[in-house]
Structure formats: C-alpha cells, structure tokens
Amino acid sequence: MDTTPKGSRVHIALFGKRNAGKSSLINAITKQEVALVSPIAGTTTDPVYKAMEILPLGAVMFIDTAGLDDSGSLGEMRVKKSKAVLSKADVVLLVIDAKNGYDQLERMLLNDVQQRQLPVIAVFNKIDGCAETVWRENLRQFQAAYPNIPVVAVSALQKQNIDELLQKLISLEPQNKGQTIIGDLIAPEQIVLLVTPIDEAAPKGRLILPQVQVLRDILDHDAQAIVCQPQNLANTLTKLKNPPDLVITDSQAFGEVAAILPTDVPLTSFSILMARYKGDLALLTAGAKIIDTLKPHDKILIAEACTHHQQKDDIGTVKIPQLLAKRIGGPLDFAFVNGNQYPEDLSQYKLVIHCGGCMLNRQEMLYRLNSLANAQVPVVNYGVLLSALNNILDRAIAPLGLQQN
Ligand SMILES: Nc1nc2c(ncn2[C@@H]2O[C@H](COP(=O)(O)OP(=O)(O)O)[C@@H](O)[C@H]2O)c(=O)[nH]1
Ligand code: SF4
Ligand SMILES: [Mg+2]
C-alpha cells in the first residue's frame, strides 16, 4: 500500500486549453489510464488529484485541471478553481497544442506562475498530428518569448518523448525539494530522544504522522532515535552515557520534560518542527507575540483548512478560544472559517489563528500565510499559539535558531 502522506508529495499541476491533452499526458507519464480522456472539450471539470509513485521522481500528486479557455459562467467557475490550484502546485506543466501554439490565455497563466516563482515546463503536445515545420515554428516563437522556460515537444497519444519530459521534471527544483523536518538540525551519529506520551488521546496501535515523519527524517540523516514516554524519561537519561543531542516532545508533555531535562539540552516539540516544515516559523512566532497585546472583544479569526470531524473539546472551536480568553482576562470575538475562503475584509481581525494544515502541502500553507502577511494581519498556527500560551515557545524555538524576543 502506498501511504506517502499527501502533504509530502511533489504536486505537479497541469494547465492548458481544453483538449490540449492534459489528461492524456498524465496517462502517458504514469503509464496508466488514471485521467479521463475525451475528444469532447470540457471533460475535466473540478481539479482531479491523483497520487502516484513514478520512477525516478518518487511520490507525486498530479492535479489535472479544467481548460483555461472554458467559457460561460460555469466555465468561468472552473477556470477560477483551476487557477486556485496554483497555490498548492510545486511544479507546473503547461500543455499546449503544438499545432495551434500559445496565445493570451497561456500568457496570462505564465504571468501568475512567474509571479509565484513556480518552476514550469511548457509541453507542446500532439506533435504526431501536425507537420513538423508547423510545431517547430510554434515552439520557436514560444522560446523567443520565454527563453527561460524549458520546453519539450511530445505526443501523449503515441508516447513520444515522454522520457525527455520526465528528465526535465527531475531536473527542475521544486520549491520544497530538500526541505527536511530536522535534517538540518542534526549531524550523523547524533542521538535524538523522542518523548511521546501514550495516553487516551493517542490513537490505538500506532504513532501519529508527525512522529513517524520525524523518526524517518532522523534515519534519513544517519542519526539515531530513542523513543520513550515522559514517565520513563529520567530512567532513559541515566542509561545514556552522554545527554541526547536533541530532545523532541509532544507539546502536552513539554512542561514535564523541561523540568527533568538539564537546561543545556536542546528541547523542542513535534508541533514546532512541523510548523517550520509546513510554513514560516518566524512569521508564526511573530504572530504569537501579539497575544499579550489583545484586549477583550478584539476580533479573532480561526481558520481551518478542512472540515474534519469535530471532537469534544475540539482544539480550534473550544480549547483555543477558552485558553485565549483566560489569558486576556475577558471574552474575545471569534469568527470561524474552513476551507480556503477567507472573509473579504481581513483588516478587522487582530489575529488569524490557522490550523496546523496537516492536509496541506508546504506550498499551499506558505501561500495562505503569505496572503495574510501581505494583508498585514498577524497570523499564528495552533501549535505555535499553544506553545506561547503554555510559556514554552522560547525554549522550543531556541534549537531551531530562532528567538522570540
Ligand atoms: N493526435 C493526438 N491526439 C491527442 C494527443 N493527446 C491527446 N490527444 C487527443 O486530444 C483529445 C483531448 O485529450 P484530453 O487528454 O482529454 O485533453 P484535455 O482536455 O487537455 O485533458 C482526445 O481525443 C485525445 O485522444 C496526442 O499526443 N496526439
Ligand atoms: S489540522 Fe489538518 S485535519 Fe485539522 S483542520 Fe487543519 S488540515 Fe484539517
Ligand atoms: Mg482533461
């Protein structure tokens, strides 16, 4: 079974006019009939996500979009939905019918792509169906206009030059390539101690995703991991010849762990590491700073990326509002949104509190954070906010080379 988490896959988004061959190209690359191909223009409506393993690229997520030229009000909505995909794309494939070449619609998309500094490849498709002189001339015109964009001429139908396209994909640097959770904080042979309480909140029979991802990252970097529960921490430390090089704890146990651990041993939490991996820790830490400037009845927006099943004492709708009100010493005015719709007027909010974004990739989380930063609204996420409310943020960010004050 393939269980690479969605948020860790390289997201490859395909754009182009209707019938350019986007869906056929996904099928050609994956050597499977994963996308619906049809001669009827407008077959792909909502963006379609397909998780795949393709050698030698690894775990990817293809996003097949509707045509850029979809018309009518329904069509416009599809185009809007397609463009929203840009905020989560790591790499863009712009598919162009080789016979027709490109025009204003592709230019507009490329403007957006270049503004976001996304890596892009232009794929001239259907070279089997037109005279070589024609597609070569169209290709030449494109290259003259966009000398920095790699191009490749293919036939998705006849599986021509697909390997060349794959090579180009591999040579691109997706923006989050090389991003590691803790790889840059540890050296080979170092010992990392993970403290993970197995309490009622822990799922039965397994560890949670951030813990698994951290463990894997430690092994990927030739360091060693020891895992224990908070009540075994003191015993574990006495059995080690030297103190661990880094300790990572579940936030809930931070206080308990900090009390046992000598102050010169670097200590952080899984949620702080994930906040850095997924987003911009400096920005989130700056957002956390403003909590002590909040006054009763200030407006706060709590934004969740998806509609997960809410539990009793739900962190976003119950726990955080209660803790914040207690800290401020009076009620705050909370608004809640989920999905990717922020209210038009963000200026009324003193702070936006975003969920951890476990279902988002780094690209999309950064996009969301940056749009708030551009609107000059302070933003913090659940993990960083809870650390600040528990007064552990300073110690937790120190091993990551950040200081709050
Ligand atoms: N001759 C030729 N036809 C193609 C090629 N790629 C796609 N097509 C055809 O173009 C039509 C639209 O393809 P599709 O993949 O659905 O395009 P999309 O709308 O961009 O997703 C279908 O009839 C395909 O069979 C190609 O490389 N050569
Ligand atoms: S933290 Fe994850 S599950 Fe919760 S709202 Fe955000 S994306 Fe959804
Ligand atoms: Mg399609």
- Ligand 1 center to residue 183 CA distance, Å? 43
| 303 shares a domain with 324 | yes
Ligand 1 atom nearest the C-alpha of 125 is: 27
Report if residue 401 sits inside a domain: no
- Ligand 2 center to residue 155 CA distance, Å? 40
What is the β-pairing status of strands 58-64 and 48-54? antiparallel
Report if residue 24 sits inside a domain: yes
Closest C-alpha to ligand 1, atom 8: 21
Q: Across-strand partners of 300?
A: 334, 351
- Ligand 2 center to residue 307 CA distance, Å? 8
- Ligand 1 center to residue 11 CA distance, Å? 22
SS (H, E, C) the chain: CCCCCHHHCEEEEEEECCCCCHHHHHHHHHCCCCCCCCCCCCCCCCCEEEEEEECCCEEEEEEECCCCCCCHHHHHHHHHHHHHHHHHCCEEEEEEECCCCCCHHHHHHHHHHHHCCCCEEEEEECHHHCCHHHHHHHHHHHHHHCCCCCEEECECCCCECHHHHHHHHHHCCCCCCCCCCCHHHCCCCCEEEEECCCCCCCCCCCCCHHHHHHHHHHHHCCCEEEEECHHHHHHHHHHCCCCCCEEEECHHHHHHHHHHCCCCCCEEEHHHHHHHHHCCHHHHHHHHHHHHHCCCCCEEEEEECCCCCCCCCCHHHHHHHHHHHHHHCCCCEEEEEECCCCCCCCCCCCEEEECCCCCCCHHHHHHHHHHHHHCCCCEEEHHHHHHHHCCCHHHHHHHHCCCCC
| 77 shares a domain with 48 | yes
Domain that holds residue 368: 289-395
| 204 shares a domain with 108 | no
Report if residue 256 sits inside a domain: yes
Ligand sitting nearest the alpha carbon of 38: 1
Ligand 2 atom nearest the C-alpha of 338 is: 5
User: According to the model, what pLDDT value does residue 1 have?
Assistant: 37
Supply the Cα-derived Rg of the chain in whole angstroms: 24
- Ligand 1 center to residue 95 CA distance, Å? 11
| 257 shares a domain with 130 | no
Report if residue 114 sits inside a domain: yes
Indicate which CATH number applies to the domain containing 34: 3.40.50.300
Q: Write out residues with Cβ below 6 Å of ligand 2.
A: 304-306, 308, 355-359
136-152 pLDDT, tens digit each: 999 999 999 999 999 99
Report if residue 359 sits inside a domain: yes
User: According to the model, what pLDDT value does residue 251 have?
Assistant: 87
CA 53/CA 399 separation, integer angstroms: 34
Structure tokens at 21: 């061959």
| 140 shares a domain with 187 | no
Report if residue 281 sits inside a domain: no
Ligand sitting nearest the alpha carbon of 40: 1
CA dist 252 → 34, 248, 270, 298 (Å):
43, 12, 10, 27
Question: Looking at the 3D structure of the chain, how many domains does it have?
Answer: 3
Residue for token pair 């998806």: 306
- Ligand 3 center to residue 67 CA distance, Å? 7
| 162 shares a domain with 33 | yes
Ligand 2 atom nearest the C-alpha of 356 is: 1
78-110 pLDDT, tens digit each: 777 777 888 889 999 999 999 999 999 999 999
| 208 shares a domain with 167 | no
Closest C-alpha to ligand 1, atom 22: 39
Low-confidence ranges of the chain (pLDDT < 50): 1-2
| 304 shares a domain with 250 | no
Would the CA dihedral through 28, 30, 31, 36 be positive or negative?
negative
Indicate which CATH number applies to the domain containing 359: 3.40.50.11410
| 216 shares a domain with 301 | no
CA 227/CA 74 separation, integer angstroms: 53
Q: Across-strand partners of 193?
A: 226, 247
CA 115/CA 326 separation, integer angstroms: 42
Domain edge (last residue) among 144, 171, 198: 171
| 355 shares a domain with 324 | yes
Indicate which CATH number applies to the domain containing 226: 3.40.50.11420
Report the residue among 18, 19, 93, 94 best suited for mutation to probe ligand 1: largest number of ligand atoms under 8 A from its CB.
19
| 129 shares a domain with 13 | yes
Domain edge (last residue) among 171, 202, 226: 171
| 145 shares a domain with 77 | yes
User: According to the model, what pLDDT value does residue 41 have?
Assistant: 64
Report if residue 317 sits inside a domain: yes
Cis preceding-peptide flag for 188 (omega within 30 of 0) = no
